[in-house]
């Protein structure tokens, strides 16, 4: 990761600087040289024309300089070759051409030396300071050489050396000042660009964070127009089609009324913002002094808060139940073992034996409840694997028959297609199917007919579906709404944890367990996967 000074140095490089100043300097060069060329075709008595008559080379140099200036401007427009090459090339042309013009004009008294000052000043803006001083020194040397040549030709030094020295000093001073100012300007420009880049990055990061907040965030300005609306608030407000350049009252009249009440010192209670929407809790914060810059509004779905609180309560209750079940297990085992020993006594009467049978049955039921609670508390995260359903259901059918060898039931399997596969924890799926089938065998049997259980696997609307259906007595209508609640049971010998555990195992594997309506018996459906993950 580069330091800030390194980044600024990179940004301040002339290659990264704007081409516009180079084009402006090129236009200036063309204009000046064009005026000089036009002077040749003006009045006959001008000083410039008299100088041209004395030395015809002056016109040739001027026209060549004009042609090179035009070519330089065209290259600057095309941005070819590279920026540095063009700047240094134009510097060489300017110093050489102006020196030749001064030579052709006869002396420094022609006034052309000022063109050297302007050229060096403009070029110093575009090149590093060291290069600018180099060309300033080169121009000064040329001017001194021209004065020496003029002195040798005329034999009269006059004030030429003083004028050359002053002009060279001016060129050096101009190059130094222009270079320093240009360097500071480039640094400030690079600093501004860096700050702008940082601000844009920070704005993008803040927007990313705000958009992914679970709570809704709405920002309105002082006039009530919506300036920010994140994804959560857009959903809570009913997914409106237009969210830009609208007033809060047009977006959500109910929320606008709550904001007006808050500004009047009232605290709006949680309430639905849509006719059939959830209850929303609102918090407002003023932006700026007394809300001069707008208002920040937070929206929270109280239903989700209640669900989170309920889940935390259930988790605490589950941990407490597991601890209690663990403590109950040892004395329960002692009671059951003592009752079994007492049952073997030959001196017991029939009445006492019936009481012992009640003790043993209730101890077994309580032990089953303890085992279910401990099983839920020890549940491990699912280890999903690819399961071929037809093969798995055949194996499960054989295991179920071994567990219930004396029960009268028929189990059939249907899988369409036969190659249907799902991703699921094998042990979890086996436990779910075992609980559902055992419920049918123990509690769903009709006395007058044989119990028939069907295991069906197929695809439905992009989902893999497993159904466990029977022809038993079914589920009472008043029990359907509470069927998957913990400790709810319709049987006197049930624990009320079987279906709750099945639902928890399905959800941990990304599946859903539902009770399907049918005319006879009960049908539980396990839906695995969704349309987005279709095989």
Question: CA-to-CA distance for 14 and 8, rounded, in angstroms?
Answer: 12
Question: CA-to-CA distance for 463 and 527, rounded, in angstroms?
Answer: 6
Domain shared by 455 and 323, yes or no = no
Domain shared by 129 and 245, yes or no = no
**Residue in 112, 173, 176 with CA at minimum distance from that of residue 143:** 112
Highest mean pLDDT among 151-160, 371-380, 386-395, 517-526 belongs to 386-395
Domain shared by 443 and 514, yes or no = yes
Tell me the pLDDT tens digit for each residue of 403-414: 888 788 889 999
Question: CA-to-CA distance for 77 and 22, rounded, in angstroms?
Answer: 9
Of residues 71 and 490, more confidence is placed in: 71
Q: Report the CATH number that the domain containing residue 276 is assigned in CATH.
A: 3.30.450.20
Q: pLDDT at residue 455 above 90?
A: yes
Domain end, chosen from 237, 270, 301, is at 301
Tell me the pLDDT tens digit for each residue of 415-427: 888 889 999 988 8
**Residue in 518, 512, 522 with CA at minimum distance from that of residue 491:** 522
Mean pLDDT on 296-301: 89
Assigned domain for 205 exists: no
Domain shared by 267 and 313, yes or no = no
Mean pLDDT on 326-336: 77
Burial class (CB in 10 A: 0-12, 13-18, 19+), 206: exposed
DSSP state, 8?
Answer: H
Domain count, the chain: 4
Using N-to-C axis directions, what is the helix angle for 302-343 and 350-377, rounded to 10°?
Answer: 140
pLDDT at residue 14, rounded to an integer: 44
* Phi, psi for residue 253 in degrees, rounded to 5: -60, -35
Q: To which residue do tokens 């920002």 refer? A: 219
Mean pLDDT on 35-50: 66
Domain end, chosen from 377, 400, 422, is at 377
Domain shared by 146 and 36, yes or no = yes
Report if pTM > 0.75: no
Domain shared by 350 and 272, yes or no = no
Domain shared by 9 and 153, yes or no = yes
Provide the pairing of β-strand 294-301 with 409-416.
unpaired
Mean pLDDT on 77-92: 90
Q: Report the CATH number that the domain containing residue 342 is assigned in CATH.
A: 1.10.287
pLDDT at residue 440, rounded to an integer: 87
Assigned domain for 203 exists: no
Assigned domain for 206 exists: no
Assigned domain for 497 exists: yes
Of residues 170 and 210, more confidence is placed in: 170
Domain shared by 289 and 415, yes or no = no
Helices (H), 298-425: 302-343, 350-377, 389-403
Of residues 72 and 350, more confidence is placed in: 72
Question: CA-to-CA distance for 159 and 173, rounded, in angstroms?
Answer: 21
Mean pLDDT on 153-170: 77
Domain shared by 397 and 474, yes or no = yes
CB 25 within 8 A of CB 123: yes
Provide the pairing of β-strand 226-229 with 523-528.
unpaired
Query: What is the length of the chain?
Result: 535
Mean pLDDT over all residues of the chain?
81
CB 400 within 8 A of CB 470: no
The tokens for 159 are: 């004030």
Question: CA-to-CA distance for 273 and 233, rounded, in angstroms?
Answer: 11
Q: Report the CATH number that the domain containing residue 503 is assigned in CATH.
A: 3.30.565.10
Burial class (CB in 10 A: 0-12, 13-18, 19+), 192: exposed
* Phi, psi for residue 288 in degrees, rounded to 5: 80, -175
Position 67 confidence tier, pLDDT thresholds 50, 70, 90: very high
**Contacts of residue 456, Cβ cutoff 8 Å, sequence gap at least 6:** 414, 415, 465, 466, 467, 469
How far apart, in Å, are the Cα atoms of 354 and each of 331, 357, 368, 494?
A: 22, 5, 21, 21
Assigned domain for 169 exists: yes
Strand partners, 298: 217, 283
Of residues 173 and 336, more confidence is placed in: 173
Question: CA-to-CA distance for 68 and 37, rounded, in angstroms?
Answer: 14
Assigned domain for 288 exists: yes
Domain shared by 26 and 168, yes or no = yes
DSSP state, 264?
Answer: T
Q: pLDDT exceeding 70 applies to what percent of the chain?
A: 83
pLDDT at residue 68, rounded to an integer: 93
Q: To which residue do tokens 């809570």 refer? A: 236
pLDDT at residue 390, rounded to an integer: 92
Assigned domain for 200 exists: no
Position 524 confidence tier, pLDDT thresholds 50, 70, 90: very high
Assigned domain for 283 exists: yes
Show the 3-state SS of 478-497: HHHHHCCCCCCCCCCCCCCC
CB 472 within 8 A of CB 521: yes
CB 108 within 8 A of CB 148: no
CB 122 within 8 A of CB 132: no
Q: pLDDT at residue 243 above 70?
A: yes
The tokens for 71 are: 């070519």
Domain end, chosen from 347, 377, 407, is at 377
Tell me the pLDDT tens digit for each residue of 256-270: 999 999 988 888 888
Domain around 242: 216-301
Domain shared by 261 and 342, yes or no = no
Question: CA-to-CA distance for 162 and 169, rounded, in angstroms?
Answer: 10
Domain shared by 370 and 507, yes or no = no
């Amino acid at each position: 990761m580069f330091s800030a000074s390194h980044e600024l140095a990179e940004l301040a490089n002339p290659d990264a600087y704007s081409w516009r100043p180079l084009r402006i300097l090129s236009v200036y060069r063309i204009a000046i040289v064009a005026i000089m060329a036009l002077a040749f075709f003006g009045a006959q008595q001008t000083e410039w024309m008299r100088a041209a008559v004395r030395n015809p080379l002056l016109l040739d140099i001027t026209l060549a300089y004009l042609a090179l200036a035009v070519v330089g401007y065209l290259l600057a427009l095309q941005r070819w070759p590279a920026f540095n090459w063009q700047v240094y090339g134009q510097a060489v042309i300017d110093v050489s051409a102006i020196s030749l013009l001064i030579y052709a004009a006869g002396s420094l008294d022609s006034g052309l030396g000022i063109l050297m000052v302007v050229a060096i000043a403009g070029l110093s803006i575009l090149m590093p300071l060291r290069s600018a001083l180099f060309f300033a020194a080169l121009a000064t040397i040329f001017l001194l050489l021209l004065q020496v040549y003029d002195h040798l030709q005329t034999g009269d030094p006059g004030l030429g050396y003083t004028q050359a020295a002053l002009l060279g000093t001016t060129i050096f001073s101009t190059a130094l000042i222009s270079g320093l100012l240009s360097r500071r300007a480039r640094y400030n420009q690079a600093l501004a660009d860096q700050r702008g880049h940082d601000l844009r990055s920070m704005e993008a990061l803040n927007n990313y964070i705000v958009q992914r907040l679970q709570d809704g965030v709405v920002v309105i300005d002082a006039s009530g127009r919506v300036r920010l609306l994140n994804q959560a608030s857009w959903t809570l407000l009913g997914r409106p089609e237009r969210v830009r350049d609208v007033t809060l009252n047009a977006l959500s009249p109910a929320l606008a009324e709550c904001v007006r009440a808050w500004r009047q010192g009232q605290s709006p209670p949680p309430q639905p913002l849509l006719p059939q929407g959830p209850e929303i809790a609102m918090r407002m914060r003023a932006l700026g002094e007394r809300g001069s810059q707008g208002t920040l509004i937070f929206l929270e779905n109280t239903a989700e808060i209640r669900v989170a609180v309920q889940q935390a309560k259930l988790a605490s209750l589950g941990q407490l139940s597991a601890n209690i079940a663990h403590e109950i297990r040892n004395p329960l085992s002692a009671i059951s073992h003592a009752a079994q020993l007492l049952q073997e006594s030959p001196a017991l009467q029939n009445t006492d034996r019936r009481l012992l049978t009640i003790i043993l049955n209730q101890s077994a039921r309580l032990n089953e409840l303890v085992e279910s609670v401990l099983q839920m508390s020890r549940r491990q995260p699912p280890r999903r694997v690819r399961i071929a359903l037809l093969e798995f259901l055949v194996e499960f059918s054989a295991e179920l028959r071994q567990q219930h060898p004396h029960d009268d039931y028929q189990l059939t399997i249907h899988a369409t297609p036969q190659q249907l596969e799902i991703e699921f924890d094998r042990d979890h799926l086996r436990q779910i199917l075992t609980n559902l089938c055992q419920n049918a065998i123990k509690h769903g049997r009709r006395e007058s007919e044989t119990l028939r259980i069907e295991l069906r696997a197929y695809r439905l609307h992009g989902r893999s579906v497993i159904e466990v259906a029977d022809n038993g007595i079914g589920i009472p209508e008043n029990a359907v709404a509470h069927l998957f609640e913990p400790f709810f049971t319709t049987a006197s010998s049930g624990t009320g944890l079987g279906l709750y555990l099945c639902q928890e195992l399905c959800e941990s594997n990304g599946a859903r367990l539902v009770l399907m309506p049918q005319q006879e018996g009960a049908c539980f459906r396990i839906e695995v996967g969704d349309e987005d993950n279709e095989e």
